[in-house]
Amino acid sequence: MEGILGRKLGITQIFTEDGATVPVTVVEAGPCVVVARRTTDRDGYEAVQLGLVEARPPRRVTKPQQGHFKKAGVTPTRRVVEFAVTADETWNPGDQVKVTIFQEKDYVDVVGTSKGKGYQGVVKRHGFRGGRATHGSMFHRAPGSIGGSSYPSRVYPGMLSGGRMGGERVTVKNLLVVKVDEEKNLIYLRGAVPGAPNAYVAIKRAKRG
């Protein structure tokens, strides 16, 4: 199994045997249930569709979704994501996938939606240096020239400027699995994970690690 769904709980720190401090992000990963199986003969690719099992199931489920989950014989879930598998893996609708598919010292990629920052200027959004901070400079956090008046007499497409920041799909690669708690379905990942607390994330095996 390539990955699992989960919810980001927050950031904390744990201590190693030699007393070193390790910053970790705690993710409640699974349990997940297999909702559908994609095959090369029928769909053109090999994958499984996983649904994240939560304490409170969704209250509103459309009739097409009801039929989809009823066909698999599982309770409807809010979040459904597909993960690639090989043709020889025998995953069937109704099977459970738990956090134990990962072990300590594994490397994973985490996909999530970054925090929305709203409208931001070029200094925060793109890392522009800005002008001098001295009194009377009149140029502190402005972008500078964005196009000459005589030529090109317009702003080129793609010019970096202020605008909406965050709320985008982000992948953080090669995070180390520090600890796996099978009883509580928790996985501890070294470093930061995109999204706010309680945000949904997908944890996948690292492709390049």
Judge whether 109 lies within some domain: no
Judge whether 69 lies within some domain: yes
Judge whether 56 lies within some domain: yes
Kindly report the CATH number assigned to the domain that includes residue 79.
Answer: 3.30.160.810
Judge whether 187 lies within some domain: no
| Separation of alpha carbons 38 and 84, rounded Å | 9
Q: Assess contact for 7 and 195: CB atoms under 8 A.
A: no
Q: What is the DSSP string of 118-141?
A: EEE-HHHHH----S--STT---SS
Which residue range is the domain that position 74 belongs to? Answer: 31-97
Judge whether 38 lies within some domain: yes
Q: Assess contact for 45 and 38: CB atoms under 8 A.
A: yes
pLDDT tens sequence for the chain (209 residues): 888 999 999 999 999 888 889 999 999 997 999 998 888 888 898 889 999 988 888 888 889 988 988 988 888 888 899 988 888 888 888 888 899 899 999 999 999 999 999 999 999 999 999 999 998 999 999 999 999 999 999 999 999 999 999 999 999 999 999 999 989 999 999 999 999 999 999 999 998 76
Q: Taking the complete model, does pTM exceed 0.85, yes or no?
A: no
Q: For the chain, how many structural domains are there in total?
A: 1
What single-letter amino acid sits at 45?
Y
Judge whether 188 lies within some domain: no
Kindly state the tokens that stand for 2: 């390539």
pLDDT tens, residue by residue, 122-174: 999 999 999 999 989 999 999 999 999 999 999 999 999 999 999 999 999 99
Quick one: which H or E segment has residue 66? helix 63-72
Judge whether 63 lies within some domain: yes
Q: Assess contact for 1 and 21: CB atoms under 8 A.
A: no
| Other C-beta atoms lying within 10 Å of the C-beta of residue 165 | 17
| Separation of alpha carbons 79 and 107, rounded Å | 24
What does DSSP assign to residue 43? H
